[in-house]
């Protein structure tokens, strides 16, 4: 028997219409580095998104399914593209501006982008790429930045403001099939070619509702969210869409992502929430320690994208900023788990341990653990296996061209369609995920596994250590052993023996203690700010690290 309910498609245009009317006075505040940030209301974003859609259709000839790329920081115009492009039936493709030039060109060509909307400040990055981007017909430039490198290039160049000026302020958004492509994002491609994940209107809509649930970020129109996580990194973790559903103001840092301006914008604009990867917060913490600021407005800080070291969580707690740890991936939209402790643990000694886990799965994400032999492992908080997930906002394949069959590599998708995350961990009986490693980063020593993350977290809790990354290196006797690479704080003097004994004191088993140690200036980072361990492994293999053996 069928239901008697209306079958209304879940569309991004609906989120835009809702946000720009019901929450029309909420704001997108963009940091400019000048005396005053730029403020634009959700109502204005609504009318300007309509104007952008008219310009893209009528002046640039963009049709349904065409890919419109953005090469942009987090700012109001980027939010307009977020809504206009999918709402008119085209596909928003957010480009990661930190990727090496060849990879960026590969991605634009693979997606066959027709239009690139770029910030003026990124013209030096874009202009040299254009001769290698045959599918790009139009470049639309927003904001400040020297335009001269774009003179004489093949694609037509337009000024964003001129393009949308005078266009009608309403657009008759089409009633699309909710399963159609809305946006795409390529994985950061640490191994092999980058892979494109294509989100649907339905997946974005459902994911945004989950972001808004109290058990996730739970923000309201009384909040202002400092969206540090880039709009090119998994849709800024869904925040632009989620905030338009609930009227949360967005504070956008544009290109001012260094610790000092971030500290200043927190003091001046008083956001109540912020979201970013741990490396951003490590930097901010050092800044706040050196130059204290009033950050008392910031009650909730969502940290994800890499494991949050306990020392970071403690330091933020001490400053009154409560960290909420979350796990996700490009393939999971990204919200997979959020670490809100269960009621029985709140106020008890268990609470901190719960907050350190990657978190609990929401209704929309099913999870299972698979052992090395393909066997299902129990949720006992002990058995470690590869995490597999399934749900309405989880990728089931990768993009392989408009008319081609999507890619379903066997190492990424199980035969029954679950996403193999490549993350290794345990799940407790009450559904809390604890990741012990990436499958490729775990150290296999004498038939046992050593978690690189455990060693890093313990090292980073030493007062002399600014950052630490541990990687597996080949060992004749044990197969692999851990190599500890350590960044010391300025003026710190701890030696390797001291650090090794410190690890033992932190509960690391004797056989897991690294005997190979090296000091480095900084941990190499990926394009989205995570530790790039493959660079360290390569440097070790090439003999470029000055390793001491204890």
The residues carrying an active-site annotation are 187, 331, 444, 449
Binding segment toward ligand AMP, per CB under 6 A, in 133-141, 199-207, 301-309, 395-403: 301-309
451 makes contact with ligand AMP (CB under 6 A): no
Exactly one of 77, 423, 454, 456 binds ligand AMP (CB under 6 A); which one? 423
| String of contacts with ligand AMP for each residue 516-545, x by CB under 6 A | ------------x-----------------
Among the listed ranges 42-50, 92-100, 210-218, 421-429, the one in contact with ligand AMP (CB under 6 A) is 421-429
CA 391 to chain centre: 19
302 binding ligand AMP? (CB under 6 A)? no
Q: Interface residues for ligand AMP in 199-238 (CB under 6 A)?
A: 234
Examine residue 247 and tell whether it contacts ligand AMP (CB under 6 A): no
By beta-carbon proximity to ligand AMP, the closer residue of 80 and 437 is 437
Distance (Å, rounded) from C-alpha 341 to C-alpha 487? 32
Q: Which stretch binds ligand AMP (CB under 6 A): 2-10, 143-151, 417-425, 492-500?
A: 417-425
Size of the site for ligand AMP (CB under 6 A): 21
Q: In what order do the strands lie in the sheet with 138-142?
A: 156-159, 138-142, 115-119, 67-71, 91-94, 181-186, 196-200
- Asked if 96 is part of the footprint of ligand AMP (rule: CB under 6 A), the reply reads no
- Taking CB under 6 A as the criterion, the residue among 330, 434, 451, 485 binding ligand AMP is 330
Binding mask 47-86 for ligand AMP (x = CB under 6 A): ----------------------------------------
Asked if 305 interacts with ligand AMP (CB under 6 A), we say yes
First to last CA, the chain: 71
- Are 316 and 301 within 8 A, CB to CB? yes
Q: Taking a C-beta distance cutoff of 8 angstroms, is the pair 68, 56 a contact?
A: yes
Instruction: Choose the stretch contacting ligand AMP; rule: CB under 6 A; options: 3-11, 126-134, 141-149, 323-331.
Output: 323-331
Asked if 329 is part of the footprint of ligand AMP (rule: CB under 6 A), the reply reads yes
> What is the secondary structure of 39-69 as a DSSP string?
EEEHHHHHHHHHHHHHIIIIIT---TT-EEE
Angstrom CA distances, 156 to 63, 88, 153, 161, 358, stand at: 17, 22, 7, 15, 46
Is residue 320 exposed (0-12), middle (13-18) or buried (19+ Cβ within 10 Å)? exposed
Question: Which span (106-114, 151-159, 250-258, 322-330) binds ligand AMP, by CB under 6 A?
Answer: 322-330
CA dihedral 179, 180, 186, 187 (to 10 degrees): 10
The residue among 259 and 425 lying less far from ligand AMP, judged by its C-beta, is 425
Nearer CB in complex with ligand AMP: 42/186: 186
Min dist. Cβ of residue 303 to ligand AMP (A): 7
187 binds ligand AMP (CB under 6 A): yes
8 A C-beta contact, residue 463 and residue 469: no
358 is a contact residue toward ligand AMP (CB under 6 A): yes
What SS3 class is residue 311? helix
In order, the DSSP letters of 195-235 are -EEEEEHHHHHHHHHHHHSTTTT---TT-EEEE-S-TTSHH
Among 306, 321, 484, 503, binds ligand AMP (CB under 6 A): 306
Rounded Cα distance between 519 and 517, Å, is 7
Here the tokens at position 80 are 């307009």
Query: Binding ligand AMP by CB under 6 A: which of 69, 209, 321, 435?
Result: 435
CB of 444 to ligand AMP, least distance (A): 18
CA distance 218 to 198: 26
Q: How far is the CB of 423 from ligand AMP (least distance, A)?
A: 5
Nearest to 15 by CA among 269, 206, 194: 206
Q: Which stretch binds ligand AMP (CB under 6 A): 252-260, 321-329, 366-374, 469-477?
A: 321-329
Which of 46, 334, 482, 514 touches ligand AMP by CB under 6 A?
Answer: 334
Between residues 52 and 443, which has the closer beta carbon with respect to ligand AMP? Answer: 443
Q: CA-CA distances (angstroms) from residue 513 to 211, 367, 434?
A: 39, 32, 21
Residues 6+ apart with CB under 8 A from 261: 31, 33, 253
CA distance 371 to 366: 17
Q: Which residues bind ligand AMP (CB under 6 A)?
A: 187-188, 234, 304-307, 325-330, 334, 358, 421-423, 435, 438, 528
């Amino acid at each position: 028997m069928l239901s008697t309910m209306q079958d209304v498609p879940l569309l991004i245009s609906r989120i835009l219409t809702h946000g720009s009317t019901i929450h029309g006075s909420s704001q997108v505040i963009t940091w400019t580095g000048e005396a005053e940030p730029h403020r634009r209301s959700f109502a204005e974003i609504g009318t300007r998104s309509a104007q952008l859609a008219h310009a893209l259709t009528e002046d640039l000839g963009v049709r349904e399914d065409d890919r419109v790329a953005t090469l942009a920081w987090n700012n109001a115009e980027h939010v307009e593209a977020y809504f206009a492009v999918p709402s008119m039936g085209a596909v928003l493709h957010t480009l990661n501006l930190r990727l090496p030039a060849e990879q960026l060109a590969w991605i634009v060509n693979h997606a066959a982008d027709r239009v690139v909307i770029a910030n003026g400040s990124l013209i030096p990055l874009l202009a040299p790429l254009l001769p290698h981007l045959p599918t790009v017909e139009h470049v639309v430039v927003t904001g400040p930045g020297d335009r001269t490198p774009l003179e004489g290039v093949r694609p037509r160049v337009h000024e964003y403001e001129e393009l949308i000026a005078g266009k009608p302020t309403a657009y008759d958004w089409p009633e699309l099939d909710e399963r159609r492509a809305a946006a795409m994002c390529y994985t950061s491609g640490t191994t092999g070619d980058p892979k494109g994940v294509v989100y649907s209107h339905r997946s974005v809509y459902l994911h945004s509702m989950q972001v808004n649930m109290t058990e996730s970020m739970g923000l309201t129109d009384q909040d202002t969210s400092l969206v540090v996580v880039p709009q090119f990194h998994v849709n800024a973790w869904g925040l632009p869409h989620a905030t338009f559903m609930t009227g949360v103001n967005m504070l956008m840092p544009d290109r001012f992502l260094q610790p000092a301006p971030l500290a200043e914008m927190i003091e001046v604009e008083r956001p109540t929430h912020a979201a970013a990867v741990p490396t951003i917060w490590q930097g901010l913490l050092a800044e706040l320690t050196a130059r204290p600021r009033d950050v008392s407005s910031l009650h909730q800080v969502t940290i994800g994208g890499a494991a949050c070291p306990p020392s970071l969580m403690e330091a933020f707690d001490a400053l009154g900023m409560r960290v909420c740890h979350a796990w996700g991936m490009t393939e999971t939209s990204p919200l997979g788990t959020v670490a809100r402790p269960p009621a029985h643990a709140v106020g008890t000694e268990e609470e901190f341990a719960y907050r350190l886990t990657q978190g609990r799965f929401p209704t929309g994400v099913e999870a299972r653990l698979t052992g090395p032999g393909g066997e299902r492992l129990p949720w006992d908080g002990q058995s470690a296996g590869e995490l597999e997930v399934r749900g309405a906002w989880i990728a089931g394949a990768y993009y392989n061209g408009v008319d081609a069959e999507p890619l379903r590599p066997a190492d990424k998708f199980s035969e029954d369609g679950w996403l193999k995350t490549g993350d290794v961990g345990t799940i407790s009986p009450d559904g809390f995920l604890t990741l012990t490693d990436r499958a490729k980063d775990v150290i296999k020593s004498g038939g046992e596994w050593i978690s690189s993350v455990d060693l890093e977290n313990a090292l980073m809790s030493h007062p002399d250590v600014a950052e630490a990354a541990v990687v597996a290196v080949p060992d004749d006797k044990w197969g692999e052993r851990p190599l500890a690479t350590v960044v010391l704080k300025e003026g710190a003097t701890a030696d390797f023996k001291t650090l090794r004994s410190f690890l033992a004191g932190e509960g690391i088993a004797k056989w897991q203690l690294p005997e190979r140690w090296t000091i480095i200036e900084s941990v190499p980072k990926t394009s989205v700010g995570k530790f790039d361990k493959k660079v360290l492994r390569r440097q070790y293999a090439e003999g470029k690290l000055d390793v001491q053996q204890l």
